[in-house]
Amino acid sequence: MPTLAALLADLVLLLHLAFVLFVVFGGLLVLRRRRIAWLHVPAFVWGAAIEFGGWICPLTPLENRLREMGGAGGYAGGFVERYLVPVLYPGELTREIQIGLGIAVLLINLAIYGFLLRRRKSCAEGKGQHFT
């Protein structure tokens, strides 16, 4: 039976994965709910900064510490370790790949926000024509 620390480590890993997905694809949520941009813009800037800076997200040491407290020596075992860990912590991660990931995050989100701005501008122009 897993310890509380091991369960918390899995929870942190799931939170980390959710954050990564929000960083990369959260702009799509903004297409439906523009107010989410107030959360998403700082998140994707942080995600890109982590990649460009070669830093470690604070969730990583927290998860590792919880795993140590739970007696785990590494990532072996169930679904979380087998399928989610490699997504967040690929073994072949190089500095060049990190920079590429940072560029991808920026390009994806700049495209989405560019689309939103163009759509907003065209809507504003369309509304202005109705009143003339």
Domain positions in the chain are 4-130
CA-CA-CA-CA torsion for 90, 12, 80, 49, nearest 10 degrees?
-20
CB 98 within 8 A of CB 54: yes
pLDDT, residue 81, reads 54
Q: pLDDT (tens digit, 0 to 9) for every residue of the chain, 132 residues total?
A: 678 988 998 898 889 889 988 998 999 999 889 899 999 999 999 988 988 888 888 888 888 888 888 887 555 444 455 556 677 666 777 788 888 888 998 999 999 999 988 988 888 777 655 444
Quote the Cα angle for 74-79-81, to 5°: 20
| Token pair belonging to 74 | 């590494």
Q: How many Cβ atoms from other residues are within 10 Å of residue 7's Cβ? A: 14
| Token pair belonging to 67 | 């795993």
Q: 0.85 cut: is pTM over it?
A: no
